[in-house]
Amino acid sequence: MVLRATREQLMKGASQIKIMAGGGVASLYDPLDATQYTEREMRAAVEAAEDWGTYVCAHVYTPGGIRRAVAAGVKSIEHGQLADDETVRLMAGEGVWWSIQPFLADEDSNPYSDPAQQAKQREVAEGTVRAFELAKTHDVPLAFGTDILFNPAGTSSQGRQLAKFARFMSPLEALNKATGAAGQLLAMSGARAPYDGALGVIAEGALADLLVVDADPEAGLDWLDDPQDRINLIMKDGRIVKDSLET
């Protein structure tokens, strides 16, 4: 069934495949510590994706789920806030990417009314700081991810979420995780990529979006939370779509 579902999604135009290798915070019926799919099932998805020249990423938080996914050939771990030292060392050794989010117990946390969801959210938030520390210790390639799905209202927090990366690294490093590094990760989809040009680089033919900001990006990224007033020029795909610079 996994093989069939993977092939079906690829035929429908998927650029890469994402599997649920473990439980989630929002979902009520799969606890965080549950590992979903056997290694054989995960490998079926990986092999089908590789046949199409692309890769598999995995939603998973826990060490056991991450290790099984890596063993099956998964190329990117989405979330992973509960990883331990041994698991992160394995990710680094296998060159696996880590698409991580600054899930913290703050104003951007999703509001949950169910106690089980609240407990899982606290557990992930408590693991977030250690996850960033482990990623730095073992030099795992990181990419910024927001995990904002099907929620137009939530997109307003994307800049603020990226700014939080500067808590764990320099502001310029944080910007790289959302641009150059993320572009490298998505480029692993090869010919399946839906983009006509390179991502995350400024080069001829690239899909470069350029910003002129009223701030010093080396000093901090708080300006990302006020894009209307602090981003003065936006160039998208080589065309200027906003220009509030004083002339």
Of 87 and 107, more confident: 87
Mean pLDDT within 37-52: 98
| The pLDDT value given to residue 149 | 74
Calculate what percentage of the chain has a pLDDT beyond 70: 100
**Which residue spans of the chain are classified as CATH 3.20.20.140?**
2-196
* CA distance linking residue 7 with residue 51, whole number of Å: 10
pLDDT tens-digit readout, 52-95: 999 999 999 999 999 999 999 999 999 999 999 999 999 999 99
Of 234, 230, 211, 233, the residue nearest 222 (C-alpha) = 230
| The pLDDT value given to residue 105 | 87
| The pLDDT value given to residue 168 | 96
pLDDT tens-digit readout, 111-142: 899 999 999 999 999 999 999 999 999 999 99
Q: How far apart are the first and last CA of the chain?
A: 61
| The pLDDT value given to residue 107 | 86
| The pLDDT value given to residue 9 | 98
- Mean pLDDT in the chain? 94
* CA distance linking residue 231 with residue 242, whole number of Å: 9
Mean pLDDT within 11-28: 95
| The pLDDT value given to residue 166 | 96
Q: How many CB atoms lie within 10 A of CB 53?
A: 13
Q: How many CB atoms lie within 10 A of CB 23?
A: 20
pLDDT tens-digit readout, 50-60: 999 999 999 99
Query: Does the domain spanning 2-196 belong to CATH 3.20.20.140?
Result: yes
| Residue 247 pLDDT > 70 | no
| Residue 165 pLDDT > 90 | yes
